[in-house]
Structure 1
């Protein structure tokens, strides 16, 4: 039975370490799927299983726990950065700016309430533990990891801050959803009216393609070429097909318009009215029954050499005799502007004859198998650069030690930059959503398991004999006070729709269970839109805030 004893208790045995992590993660994930009143803790349950195992003496050597913890954190935040990078700058446009300002207000209030409790408690709770409580209250695990990294820089040897996180987390999830419900009753929200209001609102369709079937009725366009019409109109559009005297052809910029010609026009939503008024009225045309065999087809960009090239530089019309009408990127259709930068993973809608489309497909790649292979080089080059950035010290006047972005902040910043601008450096950042989620989940469960196993030795003593219940109460205040204050401001002053407000609350706390509840209540996708709008900036601020507080105040 010596082999069994070694497997269960020897902290230096590789088999023991792997079995311990496998057990903690598998049991934690399974228990995390259990729902109570429609709410589940998800992978966060891995932390509690790790605490339980650590309490009963199942552990490993400290340096191994630290390595697995930090590597898991790096993998998690880097994949988050790649995901949110492309939408990071666009989330500040128009209505997104208002939502992001409200989210920043929630983050700021969370910090203010945390520091107020810390000073009022007058030293009863150490600052690192208050930061742990803060991140448990807002259910933000990456921030916990970043704060832990900052404490490593400061050589902190006190109680693990994961104890405060674990105490505050469960009531944090309940408090976030509770605030959504409270705001609904405070303002006597009629869900049907809010849903109708969302559906009737004008959305920003600046880059959304709009298809028109028009007949040329403007006499001034007789004999004018397409390029001349575009110059007169000063609005971009694509004429993908033209029917003249019963014959259909694919026009180019020198094609001449005549009265009575029937056109298939693709333009942006905001330009549709102007194009229709200038050219002629909309008509009904069945392009599939015309005499010239043409097809429309989505072609997948899979060749890395196409990544970062502008659509106009490909010269599809002059070289292949086809027209590109729109681009689908991550499920969203974009207008085929010549200045649009192509990325691997884009789906290009091409109209033309079958043989010409086949030639275009060979140029763009159109090989789905290529996308099934993750770009490992980009991931690890990004992690390498992120660690370099995170290790750079930045000295500020009045601060005892230089500030570092650390092993969480550095990779996050680099990943956001690569996700947003990587195509300009010919870096292929595309990964399938399933691959990104897999890497993220592996990273976060490794981190949570390591934190739980290490903190488990002291957890029961802290809760039963120490200030565990106090941590729960502090965390609940940190959760509800900022959300209720900013929720009232958002509703009264900014007139934010309730479903969007639910997404704002879930996104500003980066809390998937709250988003799941909001989607369950709502019949529209407004909660998901609000969540995704504020999530990138909020995650960035959450990860950096705890580090900055600890480095400036300790």
Structure 2
């Protein structure tokens, strides 16, 4: 049985791969198990690694360090690449409020961490680990570990504190949402369907019967309404056409309009009469409605289009077509001129066949160009990220330079590559499935190695009075900032409950809590708010984990 020992016990390259793979596989399988509707997902790999380390399983220290570091680098870079396209857009109007509230959650937790260190005597490195677990942010833990190595402090491991507080960090946000919902149910939770109606595109037919708009152009009519809508088709004297902003409306015109369901009543008063035809059924054959026009979905695959506003392309004026809807990451958006296009967007185009063929040339519509992974951009981005992470920065009052390290540098470069890469003619787009694969692979490797390393002393740390203190401190860091900021957002700033719940989940890097928020709130406000605040708070937490150690250790 020597071959079996060599495979699982004796340190070698093969043994390291086998051990890390088994820990990862077992953790991913068990992570799908739900208890009271909650599962830990990929994070369970961490706890399987801890158990394996406690039972005496180990791999070569250099292999462990390499796999752990590379996994973290791959995860944070892919994460930055995903959130990059929307990172800077999240600071626009509306997003600023949510990001400021999310930063308040981050800062309150940071202040509590420092105060707990001062008044309880828990070491600062342990408190940073407790903070990372309490806010379910493993990249911050990785950044803290790299900073401790940079400071040549290795007698303490923040991974222990993270492992102790992580489960309650997941559950704590959900508990906070339950409490907040009970406190503010009557005022803040939208009635069933109300929130969905305000965000989902809705197709409706109107007949122009309002004398007030006879002889006015569509542009002039739109200025009267102050509501967003797109007129897809216009029927007049038995003929159908694609209207432009200069098209003059006449009595009896029939219009096919794309808007939101909450705007239907207002637009009915504007145009005159709503037609009682259900245009929102899934089985409508749009190409059979008339013989002159066809409807086709075109995929944006040309990098030159990424980041441009839809109106700036002037597709309607050049080709006589109309873009009615845009599908992005499973969400249907209204095709307004101000909408900024991204690679991978699917545009619903209505027009004549020849015109649509020309639009297809402009937008690309080459599916294979997006499906083929551009690994050059991934590895070049990782190299640039490590270079950025190695640059020393001088902070006033700090006796030595600060580096962003292998967690901070790659996530910054990932964000920059995702946001500006296409504008520099770099193909940085990855499909959602490819990005998830990179992130899951990197995070699994990192968590497996992290748990394996922390498991040696885990149980002797947890099952003592200090371990119980860590649990209490971590739970306080999880729930107190969430409740305080929720009160401010709901009672003082009057933000709706759906947006607040998503903002809180994003600020705590907690997708499990987001799943719960989506179950109790109708509509996509939680997901939109989560995506709005997640990039900035993820970046800030990685930096703060390092700054706490550098400034106060």
Residue 214 of structure 2 is aligned to residue 215 of structure 1: no
Following superposition, the deviation at residue 329 of structure 1 comes to 2.7
**Residue matched to 2:60:** 61
Residue 508 of structure 2 is aligned to residue 509 of structure 1: yes
Does the 8 Å CA contact 1:310/1:339 hold for their aligned counterparts?
Answer: yes
Residue 448 of structure 2 is aligned to residue 453 of structure 1: no
Under a length normalisation based on structure 1, what TM-score does the superposition of the two structures give?
A: 0.85
Cα 1:148–1:323, aligned 2, differ >3 Å: closer, same or farther?
Answer: same
Cα 1:497–1:329, aligned 2, differ >3 Å: closer, same or farther?
Answer: closer
Following superposition, the deviation at residue 20 of structure 1 comes to 0.5
Residue 129 of structure 2 is aligned to residue 136 of structure 1: no
**Residue matched to 1:463:** 462
Residue 155 of structure 2 is aligned to residue 158 of structure 1: yes
2:421 alignment partner, SS class: helix
After superposition, what is the alpha-carbon deviation per residue over 1:80-105, rounded to whole angstroms, capped at 9, x for unaligned? 22222233334344544333322222
Residue 2 of structure 2 is aligned to residue 2 of structure 1: yes
Following superposition, the deviation at residue 145 of structure 1 comes to 0.9
Cα 1:465–1:253, aligned 2, differ >3 Å: closer, same or farther?
Answer: closer
Cα 1:434–1:359, aligned 2, differ >3 Å: closer, same or farther?
Answer: same
2:34 alignment partner, SS class: coil
Following superposition, the deviation at residue 25 of structure 1 comes to 0.5
Hey, what's the Cα distance between the residues in 1 that align with 2:319 and 2:195?
41
Picking from 240, 248, 255, the partner of 1:248 is: 240
Following superposition, the deviation at residue 161 of structure 1 comes to 1.2
**Residue matched to 1:102:** 101
Hey, what's the Cα distance between the residues in 2 that align with 1:514 and 1:220?
49
**Residue matched to 2:282:** none
Cα 1:537–1:208, aligned 2, differ >3 Å: closer, same or farther?
Answer: farther
Residue 129 of structure 2 is aligned to residue 146 of structure 1: no
Does the 8 Å CA contact 1:167/1:468 hold for their aligned counterparts?
Answer: yes
User: Bigger shift: 516-525 or 413-422?
Assistant: 516-525
User: Bigger shift: 280-289 or 307-316?
Assistant: 280-289
Hey, what's the Cα distance between the residues in 1 that align with 2:341 and 2:179?
45
Residue 171 of structure 2 is aligned to residue 174 of structure 1: yes
Following superposition, the deviation at residue 398 of structure 1 comes to 0.7
1:366 alignment partner, SS class: coil
Hey, what's the Cα distance between the residues in 2 that align with 1:235 and 1:394?
49
Does the 8 Å CA contact 1:210/1:272 hold for their aligned counterparts?
Answer: no
Does the 8 Å CA contact 1:490/1:501 hold for their aligned counterparts?
Answer: yes
Hey, what's the Cα distance between the residues in 2 that align with 1:313 and 1:489?
39
**Residue matched to 2:283:** none
Cα 1:251–1:487, aligned 2, differ >3 Å: closer, same or farther?
Answer: closer
1:394 alignment partner, SS class: coil
Cα 1:290–1:22, aligned 2, differ >3 Å: closer, same or farther?
Answer: closer
Hey, what's the Cα distance between the residues in 2 that align with 1:173 and 1:254?
54
After superposition, what is the alpha-carbon deviation per residue over 1:292-335, rounded to whole angstroms, capped at 9, x for unaligned? 52112211123445445554565545654433334333334445
After superposition, what is the alpha-carbon deviation per residue over 1:200-242, rounded to whole angstroms, capped at 9, x for unaligned? 469987x9798764538668975x8878989999999866544
Cα 1:204–1:90, aligned 2, differ >3 Å: closer, same or farther?
Answer: farther
Does the 8 Å CA contact 1:72/1:445 hold for their aligned counterparts?
Answer: yes
Does the 8 Å CA contact 1:55/1:456 hold for their aligned counterparts?
Answer: yes
User: Bigger shift: 257-266 or 386-395?
Assistant: 257-266
Cα 1:543–1:245, aligned 2, differ >3 Å: closer, same or farther?
Answer: same
Does the 8 Å CA contact 2:206/2:272 hold for their aligned counterparts?
Answer: no
Following superposition, the deviation at residue 255 of structure 1 comes to 6.2
**Residue matched to 1:394:** 393
**Residue matched to 1:537:** 536
Does the 8 Å CA contact 1:195/1:524 hold for their aligned counterparts?
Answer: no
Under a length normalisation based on structure 2, what TM-score does the superposition of the two structures give?
A: 0.85
Cα 1:110–1:236, aligned 2, differ >3 Å: closer, same or farther?
Answer: closer
**Residue matched to 1:444:** 443
Unaligned runs of 5+ in 1: none
After superposition, what is the alpha-carbon deviation per residue over 1:434-454, rounded to whole angstroms, capped at 9, x for unaligned? 222111111111111111111
Does the 8 Å CA contact 2:71/2:444 hold for their aligned counterparts?
Answer: yes
After superposition, what is the alpha-carbon deviation per residue over 1:390-447, rounded to whole angstroms, capped at 9, x for unaligned? 2221112111221222211122122223333333223333322222211111111111
**Residue matched to 2:124:** 127
Cα 1:16–1:290, aligned 2, differ >3 Å: closer, same or farther?
Answer: closer
Structure 1 segment 276-355 matched on structure 2, within 5 A = 292-304=291-303, 306-308=305-307, 311=310, 316-317=315-316, 320-336=319-335, 341-355=340-354
Does the 8 Å CA contact 2:86/2:419 hold for their aligned counterparts?
Answer: yes
Does the 8 Å CA contact 2:188/2:490 hold for their aligned counterparts?
Answer: no
Hey, what's the Cα distance between the residues in 2 that align with 1:136 and 1:471?
10
Following superposition, the deviation at residue 165 of structure 1 comes to 0.9
1:35 alignment partner, SS class: coil
Does the 8 Å CA contact 1:209/1:334 hold for their aligned counterparts?
Answer: no
Residues paired across the two proteins, number = 546
User: Bigger shift: 396-405 or 526-535?
Assistant: 526-535
User: Bigger shift: 533-542 or 308-317?
Assistant: 308-317
2:38 alignment partner, SS class: coil
Hey, what's the Cα distance between the residues in 1 that align with 2:230 and 2:490?
41
User: Bigger shift: 246-255 or 156-165?
Assistant: 246-255
Hey, what's the Cα distance between the residues in 2 that align with 1:225 and 1:180?
48
Hey, what's the Cα distance between the residues in 1 that align with 2:288 and 2:133?
62
Hey, what's the Cα distance between the residues in 2 that align with 1:259 and 1:198?
37
Hey, what's the Cα distance between the residues in 2 that align with 1:233 and 1:521?
33
Does the 8 Å CA contact 1:323/1:351 hold for their aligned counterparts?
Answer: yes
